[in-house]
Amino acid sequence: MTGTLLLCRAEVERLLTPDLCIVAIEDAFRRLSGGGLPPPGILGMHAGDGSFHVKAGFLTLDRPYFAAKLNANFPGNGMRHGLPTIQGAVILSDAANGTPLAVMDSIGITALRTAAASAVAAKYLAREACDTALLVGCGGQAPAQLRALLRVRKPRRVLAYDRDIELAKTFASDLSVTAVADLDAAVAESDLIITCTTAREFIIRRDRVRPGTFIAAVGADSEHKQEIDPALMATAKVVTDLTEQAASIGDLHHAIAAGAMTRDAVHAELAEVVAGRKPGRTSADEIIVFDSTGTGLQDVAAAIAVYREAVRECAGTHFHFSARRAA
């Protein structure tokens, strides 16, 4: 088969299982720590009520690959237009010759690779014994986060909070978890927290987080979004997916702007922890925050996994960007 593969959202989500994605993302972080990979790139531009960003990265497995993801992020889409908050596409290319290998929907890629990164972080940074997990934000990212988390930790109970309580109730009913209306109380009784919101002011307060808690802060992927109290960032062990990026658009950005911490106070990037170059959790009582801004490395790793599965199953539609000239 020749040409470029076209893969819709349903195909991406069918092919990229949580287990497959977690393995791909963990391996990508390990390879990043080994050196030899250019740092992932990002470009962001604002547009009216939303924004666009391009994230790109290289990864060499059986051959060198390059992927670029263009995402539109419009938080008001659901209420105003009945559209997803995030829409876009990923282009995967052979980095040896530039051939476009696949064009695929980015919604599934973004949700699944982000959830897989949280799961990898939890594997290395959360306590093995987890009594209560809390999901904050019950939008499109939340189901993937929960499914990935349950691959690496087995909490006795899972709580779900959203400022839209009806959304939290629907999410809880669909996935057999417990909806809660009091965020501060839920934070205080949880030892593993995943935040995936569009908040523009911090919602996780330092004085509510108990010792030993692990927090995967997923929502802050632009300089205007924030979930974690700068005072909490300052007192926690902070691990980033990419420190330079987190210092520009993540919760780390807000902690630095508030004067609560400096970039040098970051404990490690997740790649360093996965590769064993820096320690993860060293005591049961330390609070650890994973500042997850999402990187092009994660996108290319997930896209490769999807592409390989599609080739193996002969899935997708083949097309050529330009027709061959007649002889």
Q: What number of helices (H) and strands (E) belong to the chain? A: 12, 15
What mean pLDDT is predicted for residues 250-269?
97
pTM confidence score: 0.93
Task: Point out the least confidently predicted range of 25-39, 55-69, 102-116, 292-306.
Answer: 25-39
**Residue 2 in this model has a pLDDT that exceeds 80:** no
Average pLDDT, the chain: 94
Q: Which of 55, 69, 225, 237 is catalytic?
A: 69
Chain centroid offset of residue 85 CA: 15
Whether residue 64 is predicted with pLDDT greater than 80 in this model: the reply is yes
CATH of 127-294, one of 3.30.365.10, 2.60.40.180, 3.90.1150.10, 3.40.50.720: 3.40.50.720
Pair of tokens at residue 175: 């996935």
- For the residues 297-310, what does the mean pLDDT come to? 98
Which percentage of the chain shows pLDDT scores above 70?
A: 98
Q: How far apart are the first and last CA of the chain?
A: 21
Q: What is the mean pLDDT of residues 209-235?
A: 95
Among 36-45, 153-162, 226-235, the minimum mean pLDDT is found in: 36-45
What mean pLDDT do residues 304-324 have? Answer: 89
CA distance linking residue 31 with residue 37, whole number of Å: 8
Is residue 206 within 8 Å of residue 232, measured between CB atoms? yes
For residues 182-209, give the mean pLDDT. Answer: 97
pLDDT at 176 over 90: no
pLDDT of residue 75: 81
Q: Which tokens hold the place of 17?
A: 């299982």
Distances (CA, A) of 306 to 41, 108, 110, 303, 318: 21, 10, 12, 5, 15
Element (H, E) at 22: helix 18-33
Which tens digit of pLDDT belongs to each residue from 74-112?
A: 888 877 888 888 899 999 999 999 999 999 999 999 999
- 55 belongs to the catalytic site: no
Q: Where in the chain is the domain with CATH 3.40.50.720?
A: 127-294
- 216 forms bridges with which residues in the sheet? 194, 290
Phi, psi (deg, nearest 5) at residue 156: -65, -35
* CA pseudo-torsion sign 31, 33, 39, 45: positive
Tokens encoding 153: 């930790």
Look at residue 196 in the predicted model and tell me its pLDDT: 96
CA atoms within 13 A on the CB side of 157: 9
- Mean pLDDT value of segment 123-135: 97
pLDDT band for position 55 (cuts 50, 70, 90): very high
Alpha-carbon Rg for the chain, nearest whole angstrom, is 19
Q: Where in the chain is the domain with CATH 3.30.1780.10?
A: 4-109+297-319
The phi, psi pair for 164, rounded to 5°, reads: -95, 95
The confidence score (pLDDT) of residue 233 equals 98
pLDDT of 23 strictly over 80: yes
Cite the beta strand spans of the chain per DSSP E.
4-7, 41-47, 50-60, 64-73, 86-94, 100-105, 132-136, 157-161, 178-180, 192-195, 214-217, 237-240, 268-269, 288-291, 317-319
Are 8 and 321 in contact, with CB atoms under 8 Å apart? no
* Alpha-carbon gap, residue 126 to 247, rounded angstroms: 23
Mean pLDDT of the region 59-79: 91
Note the CATH number of domain 4-109+297-319.
3.30.1780.10
What's the order of all strands across the beta sheet hosting 192-195?
Answer: 178-180, 157-161, 132-136, 192-195, 214-217, 288-291, 237-240, 268-269
Share of the chain above pLDDT 90, in %: 83
Confidence bin at 324 (pLDDT 50/70/90): low
Asked whether residue 326 carries a pLDDT value surpassing 50, the answer given is no
What integer pLDDT is reported at residue 325 of this predicted model? 56
> Range with the lowest mean pLDDT among 70-74, 161-165, 176-180?
70-74
Determine contact, residues 294/69, Cβ cutoff 8 Å. Answer: no
| pLDDT given for residue 327 in this prediction | 42
Instruction: Check pLDDT > 60 for residue 1.
Output: no
